[in-house]
Structure 1
């Protein structure tokens, strides 16, 4: 039975999805490839190993994928100081911890990005563990990152909170139930269609309804 709250970070706890989309737009422009930002935004939630192929095709990925991912890292770096936590993010971590959940952050971000988010949320004392891009070979919607997150805290079973369809699909692939918030820009219908058991407009709304969700108490 679930004893671990597995929380996505980008787009769920910190407001980064549009910075990521802009960084990818600029990264692809380095290769004379102009992709619409709305299309890039729809892919945010995938890791770079999945995203480049999904939006630019297999041929581009084979020829330029690694360089494009490096370019994204360079383009995102100056945007990192602009990132802010969502209202209620730290309160949610504290509440889950107080209810007896193991709390683990499931991020495919670079280690320096995850460190910045932990500082921004003042979350180290509230989390039992976290992942980075080094902890999974394949990112969402593959289940690897969520399985790695569960292993970080020796969790029995997890419940995922995410903001994208890719989060919910990854949870389903990992055999986890999922909840979602709309902070990533996806609709209720898209998130429930991808497997979310419930969708909330914001983290404060989730906190208000926590007793009616799988996050009520660990089993």
Structure 2
């Protein structure tokens, strides 16, 4: 059984997906590129290195990729104070620790953003480690970040909690089971199709059903 709980942050523990989509919309507009917000929302969960070519194409990535990611950061930063933790997020961290899991937050966010989320969740004492964009060259759905998260705590085996198909695909690519919550706006069918073994509507619902998932007490 897994001994390490690897938790996505954006969209899973903190409610940021729509702020991210809006920031990307505004960032692309700086380059006279208007993309439908629904399309951007569907890509949230990828890291910026993956998202830009996925939604704007390889030619745009080659010419403007780094500048677009910088523009996204400038657009997202003013929205950061609006971000709230999902109900049950801190309780979930507390429960996983009580069950004996090593808890790692697997984020591809900028270090300043991750620091803000740690403060928002009051998570520094509840988590054994966390990652940022500085920890892996390729982000989800590549498995690199999840492997780094596990390595940070010398974990034997991990189970991922995420909110997007990209999280579930990254877990599959890392040979890691996945549990999903629908807070990213993806359907049950999409999440299970991407590899989630169980899907819950909220963190509260997940807390009530932990024993039926890979988050049962580790051996």
TM bucket normalised to smaller: over 0.9
Query: 2: CA distance between counterparts of 1:59 and 1:214?
Result: 41
The equivalent of 1:178 in structure 2 is 178
Query: 1: CA distance between counterparts of 2:151 and 2:118?
Result: 19
SS for the counterpart of 1:125 is: coil
The equivalent of 1:123 in structure 2 is 123
Q: What is the CA-CA distance between 1:162 and the residue it aligns to? A: 0.1
Q: Which runs of 5+ in 2 are unaligned?
A: none
The equivalent of 1:84 in structure 2 is 84
Query: 2: CA distance between counterparts of 1:153 and 1:87?
Result: 27
The equivalent of 2:57 in structure 1 is 57
Q: After the TM superposition, which segments of 4 or more aligned residues of structure 1 sit over 3 Å from their partners?
A: none
Query: 1: CA distance between counterparts of 2:196 and 2:34?
Result: 32
Query: 1: CA distance between counterparts of 2:48 and 2:20?
Result: 11
The equivalent of 1:159 in structure 2 is 159
Q: Which runs of 5+ in 1 are unaligned?
A: none
Q: What is the CA-CA distance between 1:218 and the residue it aligns to? A: 1.1
Equivalences, count: 219
TM-score by length of 2: 0.99
Query: 1: CA distance between counterparts of 2:147 and 2:17?
Result: 23
Q: Is 1:35–2:35 an aligned residue pair? A: yes
Query: 1: CA distance between counterparts of 2:41 and 2:63?
Result: 23
Q: CA RMSD in A?
A: 0.4
Q: Please list the CA deviations of residues 41-67 of structure 1 after superposition, one character each: whole Å capped at 9, or x if unmatched.
A: 000000000000000000000000000
